[in-house]
Amino acid sequence: MSDPAMSLQEGPPAEQTEPAKDANRSLWGDAWYELKRNPIFWVASTMAIFVILLAVFPFLWTNADPSTCRLANSREKPSADHWFGYTFQGCDMWAKVVYGASKSLAVAALATTFTTIIGITMGTLAGFFPGWVDTIISRVTDIFFGLPFLLGAVVFLQLFQIRNVWTITTVLTLLGWTTLTRIMRGSVLSTKNKDYVDAARALGATNGHIVFKHILPNAIAPVFVLSTIALGGYIGAEATLTFLGVGFQQPNTTWGLLIQEGQPYALQGDPHLLVIPCAFVVVTVLAFILLGDALRDALDPRNR
Amino acid sequence: MSTPSTQQTETEPSSASDVILSVRDVKKYFPLTQGIVFKKTIGQVKAVDGVSFDLHKGETLGIVGESGCGKTTLGRLLMGLERATAGSIKINGQETTALEGAGLRKMRRNIQVVLQDPYSSLDPRMTVGDIVGEPFDVHPEVVPKKGRRQAVRDLLDVVGLNPDHINRYPHQFSGGQRQRIGIARALALRPDIIVCDEPVSALDVSVQAQVVNLFERLQDEFALSYVFIAHDLSVVRHISDRVGVMYLGKMVEIGDEMQIYERPTHPYTQALLSAVPVPDPTLRGHRDQIVLEGDVPSPANPPSGCRFRTRCWKAQDICTTDEPLLQLRDTSDHPSACHFAKVRDVIHATD
Amino acid sequence: MTETTIESKRGTENEVLANLPWDANAPLLEVDNLQVEFHTRDGVAKAINGVSFTLDAGETLGILGESGCGKSVTAQAIMGILDIPPAKITGGSIKLNGVDLLQLDEKTRRHVRANKIAIIFQDALSALNPVFTVGWQLAELYRKHSGASRAQAKAKAVDLLKLVRIPAAEQRVNAFPHQFSGGMRQRVMIAMALALEPDIIIADEPTTALDVTVQAQVMQLLADLQKSQNMGLILITHDMGVVADVVDKITVMYAGDAVERADVYQIYERPAHPYTKALLESIPRVDMKGQELAAIKGLPPPLTQLPPGCSFQPRCRFAKDRCTTEDPPLYDVPGNRKSACHYWEEVFNS
């Protein structure tokens, strides 16, 4: 009641003073305002946009063709002309890395989209309808949680004979939707208990009105944060699976394959074969984690 | 204290015809369950256990009691936010406990709510215009679409807010102003009844008075009837025509404001009134203060007979065996649920 | 009381305390011109701008005010539990028996805090650790500062629970906080505050979360204990009824200022500051039934944008031009009172 910080957060009394500089900003607007002031957001989003541009427009970044390889150049060290050197196959490493971004990112983006959609839907259903709907969804998520992610992915992918963007996306989605569902369910449960939901109900609002007008807009923020972080996670997961031999196969070009290919030579005088693709994976994953953190700070109502 | 004014509102309850809300023996039991997959009912919390009263047109009925007495659940039952386990709630003569779908939605135009927490009762992501206009989205037939913006501006004006602030967000307003927004939303459908659940208890004293005045002004302007649920006895006395006192899911005493405050006959009402600190230091040590022992028992396992007997200084054997009914008694000019009902003037007593 | 506080009885901790230059003739607590700022995103919030009061042993002081007026910040500053930053004490002194607490190093301050001043919060549930029994928490607190054995400490815990009139204390000592009702938990908090026999207890809205019948029990207990132990009690509250019931003198706070200081009887009979007067008038009274309540117009100003001159002036019906430019000092009012209003005489005589 008498916490000074609480009363400080109240806006200026509208009857007396003119609106302060931040008048009429919605919570989303407020979050964006916070985000803009966070340098980490700018660093992380620059990194992420760079990777996305690599993936979408690889030809803008290199003239070399990643499939034109000459064994004569095999394992050549980085040089002034070719900053990243050549791969074991004698391909230009920079071209390989640039063209490798697209498949990794496609898998991660698709898996994130699908898990987010499923997570929001299932989580909302489970949180909004207590009783058997919640019981079924919650038990199913529990079962999936019991399945170790890596083991599950290896087993599922071994079953598929075709390994392309879609199969890998499917497996990642299958194993990844539960986390978001849980987060969404918890968020919906706490939003559902807010008085404004009761007030809408007392007005006679339908469930659909309540879910789309009140619950979703207020409950969705933590899912966005987690999805952003998960996107980085899926890039790492794809690289891991490919490295283990159950992901993409040659003659595709992905970061996971480059790591797999370069790994045997890392300790034989050619560390760049391993270090360069790894660095791209690490930087990309980091970019999305930082982005998620920045989003969380901006969306967290406790910060204002 | 000075002689209380005998001024009553014009709508002194008289005939049965002006009863706008009629509640009969309404009950709400919440099951206590155990287990995750196979839920087993192991008991019941009797939050509201047989409450009856009438609300007349233009009248304010105050409901007082301490936490756990069931007053909030009673309010939720009236608003249709909880479904009654048993009993009847009639609005304008129409039974509401069995309504569903469109019928329920139509009924809700007659009864609206103002909730306690001015912070959580407004959706933080909606503008004030959207919040106050939400009733029109739910009941599109009330105001044609192109008239809604103006209707919202009018409502803001009525509750004393600047209509030009229609595009602002709740966080730009103070607690008292937010409560006004909540009141504007409740007024939008022109209901007959507004259920107010602790509408001023989260506000500071100086702001509280503004909001209480607003409630009284709106009642005159729109011929509203209020069910005013609160724990602040002096605010309830100020605003109410009649007052009901609840304890552990039961109504223990009901009567007009003078009867309850000046001539209480139930020991719990007496204890409650005597416990309210009076803002007058000269009365210190001269008041008839009844300090109750112990706490309110659990509503999952209420005492047999009279529920107040475990804390009552008058309790005798009959209180354990026979439940006292809320009825007129020789010693009480208004309904009182005590075998030993007797007037004791606690708020004026000095020695 | 003031003489015995210097006596050493608890090992090194007490040696530290005993070596402080206590002055037995000084008031028990003397807060002088205390100023606290908060650095927030919206700028500097002046949470307290010059609050002064004194408290003697056996005396009860009420600090009355609405949310955000700075009453809790005052309590936290006295206890030394302000979060610094964002808070910053920018001026003034807090003297306990003549020793300025603001000049002490953190360690000494901690010893003083543990042994001389105790605080009771509004929310007893979050102030108690849920994973330990209340007896254990009481005993540990006592043992840590007194050097008593475990058995002695356990016995002390039972004694303390008896002191705060918890029934069946011998059994309840082994219960966890969640097994107590709200009123009982607040009694446990009082027991913890009393454990080290402090000279001062600060009660910050101790009964706000409780029901009236329970509030009556707890306030009576607090008042009885304060008398029997001859402590100084600072009661911080927004409830004018509670204040009228127990305190000896009152400091009324508004927007970080102490606007009026007086004896409790004087203030209720004849307020000398327009804010106090308006607060008293805004309480619903029986003879006001059917009439409008005398509400105070407008809202308290945000602490980041205090108006020039008197902070209460925009809401004040006594305000004149002078109030918008000149910050009122604390004027002397007959009866050893103070009021921060240029026109206190007008208020006083109205």
Q: Is residue A216 part of a domain?
A: yes
B-contacting chains (≥3 CB pairs under 8 Å):
A, C
- Please give the average per-residue pLDDT across C158-166, as a whole number: 82
- Looking at beta carbons, which residues of chain B come within 8 Å of A214? 123
Confirm if C264 and B281 have CB atoms less than 8 A apart.
Answer: yes
What DSSP character marks residue B249? T
Hey, are the CB atoms on B172 and A139 less than 8 Å from each other? no
Helices H / strands E in chain B, number of each = 10, 12
DSSP A290: H
What pLDDT digit, counting tens, does each position of C252-280 carry?
A: 998 888 889 988 888 888 888 889 888 88
Which chain A residues touch C239 with a CB distance below 8 Å? none
More confidently predicted of A46 and C178: A46
In this predicted structure, the answer to whether residue A95 has a pLDDT above a threshold of 80 is no
**Contact between residue B340 and residue B252 where contact means Cβ atoms under 8 Å apart:** no
Q: What is the pLDDT of residue B243?
A: 93
Query: Which pLDDT band holds residue A8 (cuts at 50, 70, 90)?
Result: very low
Q: How far, CA to CA in Å, does A70 sit from each of A92, A253, A263, C15, C191?
A: 9, 16, 20, 84, 84
Q: Rounded to whole angstroms, what are the CA distances from B28 to B46, B74, B81, B303? A: 6, 8, 12, 18
Structural domain containing residue A216:
27-62+84-303
The token duo for C105 is: 């190093």
Chain C residues in contact with B274 by the CB 8 A cut-off are 216
Residue A70 included in any domain = no
Count the Cβ atoms, other than its own, within 10 Å of residue C36: 25
As a whole number of angstroms, the distance between CA A267 and CA C196 comes to 66
H, E, C per residue of C139-156: HHHHHHHHCCCHHHHHHH
* ipTM confidence score: 0.81
The encoded tokens of residue B7 equal 């001024």
Tell me the percentage of chain A whose pLDDT exceeds 90. 8
* Number of domains, chain A: 1
Q: Is residue A234 part of a domain?
A: yes
Yes or no: say if B218 and B193 are a contact pair by the CB < 8 Å rule: no
Q: How do the pLDDT tens digits run along chain B, 351 residues long?
A: 343 443 333 334 445 568 889 999 999 988 887 766 566 777 788 888 889 999 999 899 999 988 878 888 999 899 888 888 889 999 888 888 888 878 888 888 889 999 888 888 899 889 999 999 999 988 888 888 888 889 999 999 999 888 888 888 888 888 888 999 999 999 998 999 999 998 888 888 878 888 898 999 999 999 899 999 988 888 898 899 999 999 998 999 999 988 898 889 999 999 888 888 888 888 777 777 787 877 778 888 888 889 898 888 888 888 888 888 888 888 888 998 888 888 887 776 554
Of C242, C284, C292, the CB nearest to B234: C284
Tell me which H or E stretch contains C331. Answer: strand C331-333
CATH classification of the domain holding A98: 1.10.3720.10
Kindly state the tokens that stand for B108.
């809700």
| Sheet of strand B60-64, all strands in order from the earlier edge strand to the far edge | B111-114, B193-197, B225-229, B60-64, B242-247, B250-256, B332-336, B327-329
How high does pLDDT run on average in chain A? 79
Q: Is residue A10 part of a domain?
A: no
CA distance linking residue C60 with residue C237, whole number of Å = 13
What's the CATH code, domain C4-247?
Answer: 3.40.50.300
Which residues 6+ apart lie within 8 Å of B172 measured at CB?
A11, A14, A19, A23, A24, B165
Q: What is the largest CA-CA distance in chain B?
A: 68
CA-to-CA dists, residue B146 to B149, B150, B165, B187, C16, angstroms? 7, 8, 19, 19, 76
Please, which residues 83-112 of chain C have a Cβ atom closer than 8 Å to chain B?
Answer: none
**Shortest Cα distance from B97 to chain A (angstroms)?**
14
Neighbours of chain C (3+ CB pairs under 8 A): A, B
CB C253 within 8 A of CB C74: yes
Q: B-chain residues within 8 Å CB-CB of C214?
A: 66, 295
For the ranges A84-98, B277-291, C146-160, the lowest mean pLDDT is seen at: A84-98
Neighbouring subunits of A (3+ Cβ pairs under 8 A): B, C
In this structure, are residues C17 and C25 in contact, taking their beta carbons and an 8 Å threshold? no
Q: How many other C-beta atoms are found inside a 10 Å radius of the C-beta of residue A205?
A: 22
List residues of chain A with CB under 8 Å from any CB of chain B. 9-11, 13-15, 19, 23-28, 135, 139, 194-196, 198-206, 209, 213-214, 217-218, 301
Of C131, C133, C152, C132, nearest in space to C143 by CA: C152
Give the span between the Cα atoms of C7 and A288, in whole angstroms. 62
CB of B86 closer than 8 Å to CB of B25: yes
Residue spans of the domains in chain C: they are 4-247, 257-349
How, if at all, do strands C200-204 and C117-120 pair? parallel
User: pLDDT tens digits for C63-83?
Assistant: 988 888 888 888 888 888 887
- What is the pLDDT, as a whole number, of residue A2? 38
**DSSP helix/strand/coil, B315:** coil
Contact assignment for C183 to B209 by CB distance below 8 Å: no
pLDDT at C46: 82
Distance of CA B238 to the CA centre of its chain: 14
Three-state SS at A42 = helix
Token pair listed for C103? 């000049």
Residue-level pLDDT at C65: 86
Cα-only R_g, chain C: 21
Q: Which residue has the tokens 């994953």?
A: A285
C-chain CB neighbours of B1 within 8 Å are: 285-287
Residue A82: the pLDDT is 64
CA C2 to chain centre: 20
Beta strand B193-197 with B111-114 is parallel
Half-sphere exposure of B47 (CA within 13 A, CB side): 19
- Greater pLDDT, C183 or A137: A137
Any residues with CB less than 8 A from the CB of A201 and at least 6 apart, and which?
A210, B81
Beta bridge partners of C64: C237, C252
pLDDT tens track for A154-195: 888 888 777 888 888 888 888 888 889 999 999 999 888 888
pLDDT at B109: 86
Measured distance CA(A155)–CA(A174) in Å, rounded: 12
Compute the nearest-CA separation of A9 from chain B (Å).
Answer: 8
Q: Are C56 and C112 in contact (CB under 8 A)?
A: no
Angle between helices A272-299 and A27-36 (to 10 degrees): 140
C213/B212 touch (CB, cutoff 8 Å), yes or no: no
Contact residues on chain B for A23, CB-CB shorter than 8 A: 168, 172
Residues C213-234, mean pLDDT to the nearest whole number: 84
Q: Which residues of A touch C84 (CB under 8 A)?
A: none
The neighbouring-strand residues paired with C117 are C200
Contacts of C66 in chain A (CB under 8 A): 2
Q: What is the pTM of this model?
A: 0.82
Distance separating alpha carbons of residues C281 and C290, to the nearest angstrom? 15
Which amino acid is residue C154, in one-letter code? K
- Compute CA C105 distance to the chain's CA centroid, rounded to the nearest angstrom: 23
Going by C-beta distance under 8 Å and a sequence separation of 6 or more, which residues neighbour residue C91?
A: C33, C34, C35, C50
Residue C322 CA, distance from chain mean position: 33
Asked whether the beta carbons of residue A204 and residue B182 sit closer than 8 angstroms, the reply is no
Interatomic CA distance for residues C62 and B332, integer angstroms:
40
The DSSP code sequence of B2-56 is PPPP----S-----GGGEEEEEEEEEEEEEEEE-SSS-EEEEEEEEEEEEEEEEE
Q: Note the pLDDT of residue B8.
A: 38
SS3 sequence of A228-242:
HHHHHHHHHHHHHHH
How many CB atoms sit inside 10 A of residue B102's CB? 9
Contact C237, C208 (CB under 8 A): yes
Q: Do C302 and A2 touch (CB under 8 A)?
A: no
For residue B255, the distance in angstroms to the closest alpha carbon of chain A comes to 28
Cα gap A201→A138, rounded to integer Å: 26
A136, closest residue in chain B (CA to CA):
B37
In the predicted model, is pLDDT for residue A4 greater than 70? Answer: no
Q: Are C232 and C222 in contact (CB under 8 A)?
A: no
Closest-approach residue (CA) in chain C for A12: C302
What integer is the mean pLDDT of A256-280?
A: 79
What confidence score (pLDDT) does residue C328 get?
86
The set of residues, in sequence order, having a beta carbon less than 8 Å from that of B26 and lying 6+ positions away, is B48, B50, B51, B52, B74, B77, B84, B86, B87, B88, B89, B97
Residue A114 near residue A106, CB atoms below 8 Å: no
